[in-house]
Amino acid sequence: MRDNTVCDGRASGVYVYDGGAGVFEGNVIERNAVHGVAVRDAGPEGDAAPAAGGACAAGRPRLVGNVIRKSGQNGVFVYARGGASLERCEVSGSGRCGIVVAEDAAADVAACKILNNRHEGLWLSDGARVTLSGWPRGPAP
């Protein structure tokens, strides 16, 4: 999914589960009632890293250059063994946390801006595994 707007939904803007996968690039995901993006039930692999060539393992979406803002609860919610890769995304203005990783879920977060959320920018709990990395050179633009 590339260069779309997903907004004003009554639940989550994007919901990936039960082995779902994909690359979501350059989208605006905003003003959804629950979460901007929710990811769960990734399957038994337990590996959050994208496979060779940028494709994702089962149930593990890759989010690249998205703007996720003004979610009713969390901007990105990865839980219940889900996994996600976020690169150069902006997550802001959420009613709760920017990014939540919980319940044996995993996420790679690289060069993202997480700001102006009502509670924590990044919340980890219940066996969460997260890899954080910054901008490759110099300060964030």
Q: What is the pLDDT of residues 89-111, one digit of tens each?
A: 999 999 999 999 999 999 999 99
- 24 part of a folded domain: yes
- 141 part of a folded domain: no
User: What does the alpha-carbon distance between residue 134 and residue 131 come to, in Å, rounded to a whole number?
Assistant: 10
The contacts of residue 111 (CB under 8 Å, 6+ apart) are: 87, 88, 133, 134, 135, 136, 140
User: Given the DSSP bridges, would you call strands 122-124 and 67-69 parallel, antiparallel or unpaired?
Assistant: unpaired
Q: What does the pLDDT read at residue 134?
A: 86
Residue 38 vs residue 43, higher pLDDT: 38
The domain total for the chain is: 1
C-alpha closest to that of 26 among 55, 50, 54, 4? 4
Record the pTM: 0.85
Q: What does the pLDDT read at residue 59?
A: 64
* Domain that includes residue 87, residue range: 5-133
Confidence bin at 43 (pLDDT 50/70/90): low
Residue 54 vs residue 126, higher pLDDT: 126
Q: What does the pLDDT read at residue 140?
A: 53
- 25 part of a folded domain: yes
User: What does the alpha-carbon distance between residue 97 and residue 19 come to, in Å, rounded to a whole number?
Assistant: 25
Q: Cα angle vertex 63, ends 42, 47, to 5°?
A: 35
- 31 part of a folded domain: yes
- 138 part of a folded domain: no
pLDDT for residue 70 is more than 70 = yes
- 140 part of a folded domain: no
- Mean pLDDT confidence for 59-84: 95
Q: What does the pLDDT read at residue 90?
A: 98
Confidence bin at 20 (pLDDT 50/70/90): confident
- 139 part of a folded domain: no
Within 10 angstroms of residue 13's Cβ, the number of other Cβ atoms is: 24
